[in-house]
């Protein structure tokens, strides 16, 4: 639309006055077809403009709604505006109202009544296509390989010596992947077949927890006492055979220590003295006697194949206890009749022993004393306590008060706390 130029000749200037026009909305229905606003896509570039009197046609796409009451307003309808000249075709692309930053209005002024009728008009982006070029295929953009080849050719022709040397070195070091094209599909299929049945991280963790060489545990435990129940560590039948009344008839601590199945343990002897002085329940003394039997059975090690010798060493234990130790912590190899304590069974025995020690120590065990009694490294003992879900920590002020320890105690202990946490699975790093 052309804008009239202002007259500058003379000293008088034309003044703009209010025409007093009245704004009025269109009387047409909101769903009726109306004017549109077309904007050139290539507004910032040289383009071909249609002739002044080129006829444009408006087409609307049918809606899925069957009832006319559901017919959307005209600005929201998907429409197409097209035109054609002898050499050029014009076509518009509909822009949804929600995607535009502003809304367009078209007004028509009636000179007789001075009424300006306005109506909302949708925005269309205008594009063009030269008819003579429609049959030509568009030029394809060069691929990365073609671009690199052309660049290398220019470098060979016009580059410096350093650039030419760099280009030739890159050509020598280029890996030819065409040899792998034939086997790539087969490799992918093989990898897919091999990995489709691999367990997830959660399944692997659950399997690892269930296969740990530790006593059966209660994952839903609320207090530490419920994690490793005592009836799992010692059966009721075994517990009923452990008589402790004879300890009260003995006159000295040394005599009581010699009565234990394993009498050379500073840990067990200290507990035995404390239990006899405090007058704690018979159940605690029974647990101590069973812990001594476990420690002695572990010390026998390779000698467990001689059941008669083991029975003599554990003569204070009932036969049912000895049979339980053999059934749980030994196995018979193929082609052999003698039981043996394998590495896995030895670890299972130690974790049973340490779980029992946790009950005796109010779930805060001094691991260094046990490592000295068993002639094991402190690191190995600590790792076994960690496999039970314990954490090696320095006792806090609250822990010292609960365990009746002096304030100066700063040595780490194995604490069994809730919630129960086992060591995480270690992932091996890939070697490069």
Give the C-alpha distances (Å, rounded to integers) separating 332 from 254, 293, 305, 337.
38, 21, 9, 6
* pLDDT value of residue 207: 65
**Structure tokens belonging to residue 86:** 């002898």
* pLDDT value of residue 319: 92
**Structure tokens belonging to residue 418:** 């809730």
Q: Is the pTM of this model over 0.85?
A: no
DSSP lists the bridge partners of residue 92 as 126
Q: Percentage of the chain surpassing pLDDT 90?
A: 28
CA dihedral 353, 354, 358, 364 (to 10 degrees): 150
HEC letters along the chain: CCCCCCCCCCCCCCCCCCCCCEEEECCCCCCCCCCCEEEECCCCCCCCCCCCCCCEEEEECCCCCCCHHHCCCHHHCCEEEEEECCCEEEEEEECCHHHCCCCEEEEEEECCCCEEEEEEECEEEEEEEEHHHCCCCCCCCCCHHHHHHHHHHHHHHHCCHHHHHHHHHHHHCCCCCHHHHHHHHHHHHHHHHHHCCCCCHHHHHHHHHHCCCCCCCCCCCCCHHHCCCHHHHCCHHHHHCCCCCHHHHCCCHHHHHHHCCCCCCHHHHHHHHHHHHHCCCHHHHHHHHHHHHHHHHHHHHHHHHCHHHHHHHCCCCCHHHHHHHHHHHCEECCCCCCEECCHHHHHHHHHHHHHHHHHHCCCEECHHHHHHHHCCCHHHHHHHHHHCCEEEECCCHHHHHHHCCCCCCCCCEEEECCCCCCCCCCCCCCCC
Range from 64-73, 107-116, 271-280, 354-363 that averages highest in pLDDT: 354-363
Average pLDDT, rounded, for the chain:
82
* Gap between the Cα atoms of 367 and 88, Å rounded: 91
Q: What is the pLDDT of residues 346-377, one digit of tens each?
A: 999 999 999 999 999 999 999 999 999 999 99
Q: What is the pLDDT of residues 6-34, one digit of tens each?
A: 444 444 555 555 556 787 777 777 777 77
Q: What is the pLDDT of residues 29-76, one digit of tens each?
A: 777 777 888 777 665 445 567 777 788 888 887 766 555 557 788 777
């Amino acid at each position: 639309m052309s804008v009239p130029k202002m007259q500058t000749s003379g000293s008088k200037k034309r003044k703009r006055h209010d025409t007093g026009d009245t704004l009025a909305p269109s009387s047409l229905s909101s769903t009726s077809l109306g004017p549109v606003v077309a904007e050139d896509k290539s507004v910032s570039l040289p383009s071909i403009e249609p002739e002044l009197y080129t006829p444009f046609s408006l087409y609307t796409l049918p809606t899925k709604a069957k009832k006319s009451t559901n017919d959307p307003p005209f600005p929201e309808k998907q429409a197409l505006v097209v035109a054609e000249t002898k050499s050029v075709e014009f076509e518009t692309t509909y822009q949804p109202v929600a995607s535009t930053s502003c809304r367009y209005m078209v007004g028509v002024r009636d000179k007789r009544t001075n009424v300006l009728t306005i109506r909302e008009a949708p925005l269309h982006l205008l594009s063009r296509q030269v008819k003579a070029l429609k049959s030509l295929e568009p030029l394809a953009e060069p691929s990365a390989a073609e671009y690199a080849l052309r660049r290398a050719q220019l470098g060979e022709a016009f580059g410096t010596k350093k650039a030419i040397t760099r280009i030739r070195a890159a050509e020598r070091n280029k890996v030819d992947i065409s040899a792998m094209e034939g086997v790539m599909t087969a490799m992918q299929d093989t990898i897919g077949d091999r990995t489709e049945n691999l367990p997830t991280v959660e399944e692997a963790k659950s399997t690892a927890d269930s296969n740990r060489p530790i006593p059966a545990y209660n994952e839903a435990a609320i207090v530490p006492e419920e994690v490793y129940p005592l009836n799992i560590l010692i059966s009721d039948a075994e517990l009923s055979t452990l008589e402790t009344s004879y300890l009260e008839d003995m006159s000295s601590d040394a005599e009581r220590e010699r009565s234990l199945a394993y009498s050379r343990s500073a840990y067990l002897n200290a507990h035995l003295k404390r239990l006899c002085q405090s007058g704690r329940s018979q159940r605690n003394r029974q647990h101590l006697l069973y812990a001594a039997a476990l420690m002695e059975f572990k010390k026998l090690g390779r000698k467990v194949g001689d059941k008669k010798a083991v029975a003599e060493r554990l003569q204070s234990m009932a036969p049912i206890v000895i049979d339980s130790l053999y059934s749980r912590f030994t196995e018979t190899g193929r082609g052999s009749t003698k039981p043996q304590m394998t590495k896995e069974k030895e670890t299972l025995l130690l974790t049973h022993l340490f779980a029992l020690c946790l009950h005796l120590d109010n779930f805060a065990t001094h691991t260094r004393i046990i490592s000295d009694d068993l002639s094991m490294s402190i690191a190995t003992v600590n790792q076994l306590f960690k496999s039970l879900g314990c954490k090696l920590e320095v006792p806090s002020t609250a822990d010292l008060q609960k365990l009746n320890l002096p304030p100066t105690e700063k040595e780490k202990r194995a604490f069994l706390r809730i919630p129960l946490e086992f060591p995480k699975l270690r992932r091996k790093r890939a070697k490069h």
